[in-house]
Amino acid sequence: MPPPHLYLHIPFCARRCSYCDFSIAVRRRIPARQYVEAIRTELEMLGSAGPLQTLYLGGGTPSRLPADAVTALLQYVLHRTPSPYEVEVTLEANPEDVTPEAADLWLRAGVNRVSLGTQSFDDRVLQWMHRVHDAARARDAVRTLRAAGLENLSLDLIFAVPAELERHWARDLDEAVALAPEHLSLYGLTVEPRTPLARWIARGATAAPSDERYADEYLLAHERLTAAGYAFYEVSNAARDGRRSRHNSAYWTGRPYTGAGPAAHSFDGRVRRWNLAAWEAYRRAITEGRSPMESEEVLSAEQQEMERVYLGLRTSEGLSLGSVQRRSPSLTALLGKGWLVEQGGRLQCTVEGWLRLDALVAALTGPAGTS
């Protein structure tokens, strides 16, 4: 049976954000018809379809795809994969694309969850990020989605931006909470090669984010959001009761999933496959009747174990204590540092532990005695 979790990558963007290294295609005119046909063709190449539990339209900027193309895409996918489940259908959207007409069409097409790329409520920070919208537009987008009937909204925020921007992180958190989203995703700014941000830092135009600022703002987010009724169920994600992202939770619990579209990844539990990243290369392969897959990786037993530990510690559920005790003599020392706790037979990261996630995984999966 094919995996019940499907990701569609929609690469089109109005511009590249200063920190972004994703596979995107900056286009003034969106080739909507060609994109929908390419996805349909790829899904047919992938063969039989089973019932879906989640469908995620990510990017890029999926909301740049005209609403009638989103409708055509969802009609095809959801009719091709009839499901006894209530399918969680997530659309990533940027505030500037949210109009009453688009929101109405998205919801009527089957979208029942929107992840809104707000990133900040500080206009100066948004300009620095190369975002198209301003804070007022983000607030308007939330009101528009609510008026259309959306009941499951997630907001994205980026923290640990350079100090010279004088961004007030606590104020951003308060503004986000005031909009009452069901879910929040918080991402620390990272410097990726070949991005505008990397070039700015290389020539001294801005400073790299500091580890201290990162930690302080991450801890503040936990404090503020927990007080507001949100629970962190994953290192970067917090939700109200019953509003966890079912799709992303499938990734974090190691369940198989299928990806379609340029740069999309698929995973069956042992083999990870990924598509050609560039839109034109992907489109050309599909048009010529070739598989758009670029390559694949078969995970070794050691890689599978490291991934199991890493994904488990990312989540609030953690790992079975027994599965770690058998091969990690450094566990006692790590528990003594307060970065991990044992609860009900599960090993879980504390908030401070999540800040040291990579080091903890290396300690728990490395050679005996690593700490």
Q: What's the pLDDT tens digit per position in 36-70?
A: 999 999 999 998 888 999 999 999 999 999 999 99
CA 165 distance to own-chain centroid: 25
| Average of per-residue pLDDT across 266-285 | 97
Give the span between the Cα atoms of 205 and 368, in whole angstroms: 44
Q: Which residues pair with 116 in a beta bridge?
A: 93, 155
Q: At what angle do helices 279-287 and 32-46 cross, to 10 degrees?
A: 60
Q: Report pLDDT for 266.
A: 97
Calculate the alpha carbon distances from 329 to 9, 332, 364 in Å.
Answer: 42, 7, 8
Position 369 confidence tier, pLDDT thresholds 50, 70, 90? very low
Give the span between the Cα atoms of 106 and 70, in whole angstroms: 7
The values of phi and psi at residue 94, to 5°, are -100, 145
Task: Report whether pLDDT(106) > 50.
Answer: yes
Q: Backbone dihedral region of 17: left (phi > 0), alpha (psi from -120 to 50 degrees) or beta?
A: beta
- Kind and range of the H or E element at 40? helix 32-46
Give the span between the Cα atoms of 343 and 207, in whole angstroms: 40
State the pairing for strand pair 88-93/54-59: parallel
Task: Report whether pLDDT(238) > 60.
Answer: yes
**Helical spans, DSSP H, in 54-168:** 67-80, 100-109, 123-128, 135-148
| Average of per-residue pLDDT across 24-36 | 95
Give the span between the Cα atoms of 368 and 371, in whole angstroms: 9
The b/e string for 238-277 (b: 16+ C-beta within 10 A; e otherwise) is bbbeebbbbbbbbbbeeebbbbbbbbbbbbeeeebbbbbb
User: What are the tokens at 320?
Assistant: 């079975």
| Average of per-residue pLDDT across 178-199 | 95
Position 147 confidence tier, pLDDT thresholds 50, 70, 90? very high
| Average of per-residue pLDDT across 117-121 | 98
Q: Report pLDDT for 370.
A: 46
| Average of per-residue pLDDT across 330-356 | 91
Q: Report pLDDT for 366.
A: 72
State the pairing for strand pair 340-343/346-349: antiparallel
Beta-carbon contacts of residue 290 (< 8 Å; ≥ 6 apart): none
Q: Which percentage of the chain shows pLDDT scores above 90?
A: 86
Q: Report pLDDT for 63.
A: 98
Least confident of 96-100, 162-166, 222-226: 162-166
pLDDT tens digits along 290-337: 999 999 999 999 999 899 999 999 999 999 988 776 656 678 888 889
- Kind and range of the H or E element at 113? strand 113-119
Calculate the alpha carbon distances from 156 to 47, 119, 171, 182, 328 in Å.
Answer: 34, 5, 15, 12, 36
Mean pLDDT of the chain: 94
Q: Report pLDDT for 23.
A: 85
End-to-end CA, the chain: 41
Give the span between the Cα atoms of 181 and 73, in whole angstroms: 26
| Average of per-residue pLDDT across 12-29 | 92
Q: Report pLDDT for 162.
A: 93
Task: Report whether pLDDT(207) > 70.
Answer: yes
The values of phi and psi at residue 149, to 5°, are 110, 10
Calculate the alpha carbon distances from 350 to 32, 158, 189, 236 in Å.
Answer: 45, 21, 21, 13
Q: Report pLDDT for 308.
A: 92
State the pairing for strand pair 340-343/319-320: unpaired
